[in-house]
Structure 1
């Protein structure tokens, strides 16, 4: 099983330092989340900068809120980033759940799932060369696409349009989601198997680092009420917890586990590298 590193959003000016450290190994992927009405860096722009600061590690949106964006431009941006990074880009997509994000873009959150399906159909056409919108991506047919999802209709989207599943559920819930994705994949008569990528929230180090990370989670998920508290409480804060979660996901057949950091101290890279090496 590979390991990825999720990047904090609190200090965007430090992300190149995180990326250069991670590029030395052992991480396979750098992930970055997406929101619009929030004080976070725009992920495609940020990952383009990080692509230029690295040579090995992959770059991944985790997840990009596609329904907020126009599909032709998104297809062009994704293909450009895939091409300029030498095929190191993974487009993780989701529908989002914040009404203020949709209000800011004038999109209707009630139809975000249907809009994402329509967007994927258009982007696949563009990436295949059926429309004269370039550049062609480094990966034939478009960059790798993962979907973050929980509901059955969204999980089926993995099989219909994607290359794999991005699972942000706790280990005890993930097995059922993995099983559903595999079943939908078979029902869609897809070749091979979906790539399974899991994600857990982490912060290692002194108490101040852990407290800052919990505060960041509580602020980010404040609109969810009790879910924010539960998410902060589930954050992994010791090497033993990280190793236990890694073993659980490996036993479930995960191809990769992304350790999403909420603390802004770049030393998190080395602390986590020591745990998973």
Structure 2
């Protein structure tokens, strides 16, 4: 069972220590979320910094809101990060849902899905070393991973599932319990077959956790509510926070039981001792 950690965003100065401690543990991946109009560190810059401070653990955006990024620059940044990390980078990608992010980036929120569909062929072409366009040559550097970094699509819509078959290597599901996630996983597998893709899609699950003192749990709850306030369902998401060893073990086992290849435990409190506590619980 592969278990990763989602990094807290409330104190970016601690993330190097988080990464180094996780790199020395059995955890498989470090995930970092993306938002534009929010008090979070920019994920690609941050993960590039963490790549230099680690040697083993994978680095993953969870998920990057691609439509708010310039496509050519995004292609160059992600190839560079894959190269600097020695192929340890996974691009978790999605469309986002906050209007203020789109306004700040100067894009129409109603076109964000179509924009992502336009971006993916350009990203794939650039990573393969082909010219970016009719009047623009190749954009380097070449990524370490042939054809570009692993791409996982996040989301809940049929369009997000379809993109896995068209452009992706797998699916990253968050904020749903295992019985509901199982339905999404089976849909991903069906789309994979529809596009006659070889092998199997990689299936990843994300669950919110806080393991520690009451202050650790309370800090996590505050941060979850702040992040998800725009949805109108912040309390619902917060109520799903797992705070006991048994609940965390049970969730990891349940996601694995429905076919997840990896489970990311998203930590919403900056209490770094959670790395050791969670390792003790799961390994």
Would the TM-score normalized by the shorter structure come out above 0.5? yes
1:235 aligned to 2:241? yes
Task: Between 7-16 and 145-154, report the one with greater CA deviation.
Answer: 145-154
Q: Distance in 2 between matches of 1:77 and 1:246?
A: 32
Q: Distance in 2 between matches of 1:172 and 1:26?
A: 27
Equivalent positions of 1:132-171 (< 5 A) are 132-168=138-174, 169-171=176-178
Matching residue of 1:249: 255
Equivalent positions of 1:19-168 (< 5 A) are 19-131=19-131, 132-168=138-174
Q: Distance in 1 between matches of 2:83 and 2:149?
A: 9
1:175 aligned to 2:182? yes
Give the secondary-structure state (helix, strand or coil) at the position aligned to 1:156: helix
Pairwise CA distance, 1:10: 0.2
Q: Distance in 2 between matches of 1:194 and 1:228?
A: 30
**Gap runs ≥5 in structure 2:** 132-137
Q: Distance in 1 between matches of 2:157 and 2:231?
A: 17
1:271 aligned to 2:277? yes
1:216 aligned to 2:212? no
Q: Distance in 1 between matches of 2:273 and 2:128?
A: 41
Give the secondary-structure state (helix, strand or coil) at the position aligned to 1:147: strand
Matching residue of 2:214: 207
Q: Distance in 2 between matches of 1:11 and 1:84?
A: 24
Q: Distance in 2 between matches of 1:45 and 1:112?
A: 23
Deviations 1:172-216 (A, max 9, x none): 310000000000000011000000010000000111110110011
Give the secondary-structure state (helix, strand or coil) at the position aligned to 1:165: strand
Task: Between 166-175 and 54-63, report the one with greater CA deviation.
Answer: 166-175
Pairwise CA distance, 1:45: 0.3
Q: Distance in 1 between matches of 2:63 and 2:160?
A: 13
Q: Distance in 1 between matches of 2:18 and 2:245?
A: 20
Give the secondary-structure state (helix, strand or coil) at the position aligned to 2:87: coil
CA RMSD of aligned residues (A): 0.6
Q: Distance in 2 between matches of 1:66 and 1:170?
A: 26
Q: Distance in 2 between matches of 1:172 and 1:230?
A: 17
Pairwise CA distance, 1:39: 0.5
Pairwise CA distance, 1:171: 1.6
What's the TM-score once normalised by structure 2's chain length? 0.97
The ranges of structure 1 where at least 4 consecutive aligned residues each deviate by more than 3 angstroms after the TM superposition are none
